[in-house]
A and B are shown apart, each in its own frame.
Chain A
Amino acid sequence: LAKTTQPISMDSYEGQEVNITCSHNNIATNDYITWYQQFPSQGPRFIIQGYKTKVTNEVASLFIPADRKSSTLSLPRVSLSDTAVYYCLVGDASNDYKLSFGAGTTVTVRA
């Protein structure tokens, strides 16, 4: 499983854009990059997934450079309810798409 590295924590204020960069130097050709959000005592919630370039949905954007060795999750105009732990994961396409969770990034949004 490709290992991921992301900042332990980030602080932001309401209305700002939050960008979390994750490095995954050993990503394999068939691997996808997925980001999850987790609130305390809840299961992770899918945010966004991509393979290359840029993906955007109603809650976030995911930027993946050509070499795919890193990715950046962009959360536009965060609110207090976006305070959570965000995990960057690389799915192992050759192994049932198993996910290996790293420490995640604790994002704290302040008023």
Chain B
Amino acid sequence: GAVVSQHPSWVICKSGTSVKIECRSLDFQATTMFWYRQFPKQSLMLMATSNEGSKATYEQGVEKDKFLINHASLTLSTLTVTSAHPEDSSFYICSARDGQVSYEQYFGPGTRLTVT
């Protein structure tokens, strides 16, 4: 089956620094990738949609200058949390849509970010 990986699986960083999270589709080409954030005991919240080779589309209330998304290839998307603060601590999850099977999304294992 389709596999999506994320790296790192967890990261701890100091307040004010930037952190990059990678999302890779391992065995399919992902024309669209999505980034979600999940706080403890809450549901997933869609942050942005990225299509390969074009700018990401951010959901309302998500700061595009703070959460930089790059989707440079059909198998890799990155999320960079710039100038991280403790309130950015969360579980970040990506998903990828296989362009050949238009409606199915495959989720990565998630990245736990802790900002101290």
Chain A residues proximal to chain B, CB less than 8 Å: 32, 34, 36, 41-46, 49, 87, 91, 93, 96-104
Is the Cβ of A91 less than 8 Å from the Cβ of B43?
A: no
Is the Cβ of B107 less than 8 Å from the Cβ of A96?
A: no
Is the Cβ of A32 less than 8 Å from the Cβ of B103?
A: yes
Q: How far is A34 from B95 in the complex, measured between Cα atoms in Å?
A: 14
Considering only CB atoms and an 8 Å cut-off, how many residues of chain B contact the other chain?
25
Query: A32-B103, A96-B49 given. 10 additional CB < 8 A pairs?
Result: A41-B112, A44-B107, A45-B107, A49-B103, A87-B43, A96-B97, A98-B46, A98-B49, A99-B105, A101-B45
Contact mask B1-36 → A, CB, 8 Å, 1/0?
000101000000000000000000000000010101
Is the Cβ of B43 less than 8 Å from the Cβ of A101?
A: yes
In the complex, how many angstroms separate the beta carbon of A71 from the nearest chain B beta carbon? Answer: 15
Q: How far is A87 from B36 in the complex, measured between Cα atoms in Å?
A: 15
| Contact A101 B97, CB 8 Å, known A43-B107, A96-B51 | no
Residues from chain B with a CB closer than 8 A to the CB of A100 are 46
Is the Cβ of B104 less than 8 Å from the Cβ of A98?
A: no
Q: Which of A36, A42, A93 contacts B103 (CB 8 A)?
A: A93
Q: How far is A41 from B112 in the complex, measured between Cα atoms in Å?
A: 8
Residue among B6, B51, B102 having the largest count of chain A Cβ atoms under 10 Å: B102
Is the Cβ of A43 less than 8 Å from the Cβ of B51?
A: no
In the complex, how many angstroms separate the beta carbon of B54 from the nearest chain A beta carbon? Answer: 11
In the complex, how many angstroms separate the beta carbon of B50 from the nearest chain A beta carbon? Answer: 10
